[in-house]
Structure 1
């Protein structure tokens, strides 16, 4: 059986970038069941890391997906915080979109773990 993630990644990044049309396709497909699972979130993170460039709508989709997954139960765990840390620091810098994501997660979560609080305090100054 073909690896759908590998195939989709190759198709989406054939030109090295993710455009608005591709974001619409990703949104329709990934949010078809109104929830983002761990595999789908990992796929988006990999796309984000691998693309030479993305349109602003892609970051909006990524943030929405992270919030959908991590806030499903209202609690951000140490494991989820570790994933966030790895993803945010993948390029060795924290950008404005990532800071906004952390702020939105902090505002929306019913409870955050010590690891998330540590990450938040490091990134949001």
Structure 2
């Protein structure tokens, strides 16, 4: 049996572009069940990094998915989550406006943040 992630990635990225139809399918698969897990989040991160281009709704799905995962478990942005975010945001060596928006929204919506998240926020948003 083919590994679902490799197959899905190959199908989604076949043309190098993630379109609205693909985003609709991904959103239904990942967020219609209320919670996204770490494996699904990594899958979306890999799609984002490997796509040559994508529509704005994919960015929204990616941000919504990260927020869903990060704010689960009582809304505490713990050190492990901050580490994952740091790696995801700085993977390409730059922080874009969507990533800054994500960090601002996370900080505003979190019930508690760790010093590690605060350090990430300072480095990415307030530099």
TM interval, short-chain normalised:
over 0.9
What corresponds to 2:96 in structure 1?
95
* Structure 2 segments unaligned to the other structure (5+ residues): none
Matches for 1:103-118 after TM superposition, within 5 Å: 103-118=104-119
Kindly provide the CA deviation profile for residues 52-82 of structure 1, in whole angstroms up to 9, marking residues without a partner as x.
0011110100000000011012101111111
Displaced runs of 4 or more, over 2 A: none
Structure 1: segments with no counterpart, 5+ residues:
none
Q: How does 1:23-34 map to 2 (within 5 A)?
A: 23-34=23-34
Note the 1:15-26 alignment, pairs <5 A.
Answer: 15-26=15-26
Superposition deviation, residue 31 in structure 1: 1.6
Normalising by structure 1, report the TM-score. 0.97
SS in 2 for 1:90: coil
